[in-house]
Amino acid sequence: MSGIFISFEGPDGAGKTTALKTLMPLLQAKTDQEIVLSREPGGSSISEKIRKIILDIHDEEMDPRTEALLYAAARRQHLIDVILPTLQANKIMLSDRFVDSSIAYQGGGREIGMKEVADINDFAIDGHLPDLTIYFDVSPEVGLSRIRKDHEGAMDRLEREAIDFHNRVYDSYMKIVKANPDRIKTINAEQAPEKVVADALDAIIKRFPNIFNKGE
């Protein structure tokens, strides 16, 4: 396996999805290796079907463990269909969310337990952790206020959850970041969007200077 695998994490409203769109061409300009961008839940045709079930606004009584298992199942299929083939082809894989999202949202947010959710995900990912994770740090208050401003009336099921759910997600992310100092790099996502992108770009280039060295 010779490609590299980078995941992007953060609470709702961190702006990572928008930042990734800007970041992707900037990163591509720095390397000859092809970059593939994907997202979770989803990222492959079976995984996108599972995504629809999970995020359906009408599924209000979904059991938390059912939800956690569906995320893990979608992740497994995404890994098999997209992530591993991309890495085997010596390409660079960027994933908008990966296993840390489940540990923070289902483990912490839904209170299943971080360890319990990490365990079912270990089964799903079978040791394939990202080489680098960029964590977009935004407080629950700022994150939620951004979501409300962006698409009022069109929030999905998880985004409708109470502020204490988001606080638990945030606290869990903090624990994950603390426990994985080598893998996870934190970016201040409360800054101006251009600065967030610049910091993420910088962190990635610094971590893989031999890969992102074009135009120097």
- What residues line the site for ligand TYD (CB under 6 A)? 12, 17, 40-41, 71, 96-97, 101-102, 105-106, 156, 158-159
**Ramachandran assignment for 94, one of left (phi > 0), alpha (psi -120 to 50 degrees), beta (any other):** beta
CB-based contact 139:173 (threshold 8 Å): no
43 assigned ligand-binding residue: no
32: tokens are 């000859």
The least distance separating ligand TYD from the CB of residue 216, rounded to whole angstroms, comes to 32
The least distance separating ligand TYD from the CB of residue 89, rounded to whole angstroms, comes to 24
Give the residue with the Cβ less far from ligand TYD, 105 or 208: 105
42 assigned ligand-binding residue: no
Give the residue with the Cβ less far from ligand TYD, 159 or 199: 159
What is the residue whose two structure tokens read 């990202």? 130
CB-based contact 47:81 (threshold 8 Å): yes
Backbone angles phi, psi at 60, to 5 degrees: -65, -30
Give the residue with the Cβ less far from ligand TYD, 6 or 208: 6
The least distance separating ligand TYD from the CB of residue 110, rounded to whole angstroms, comes to 8
Give 3-state DSSP helix, strand, coil % of the chain, rounded to 5. Answer: 55, 10, 35
Known binding-site residues equal 10-17
Known binding-site residues for ATP equal 10-17
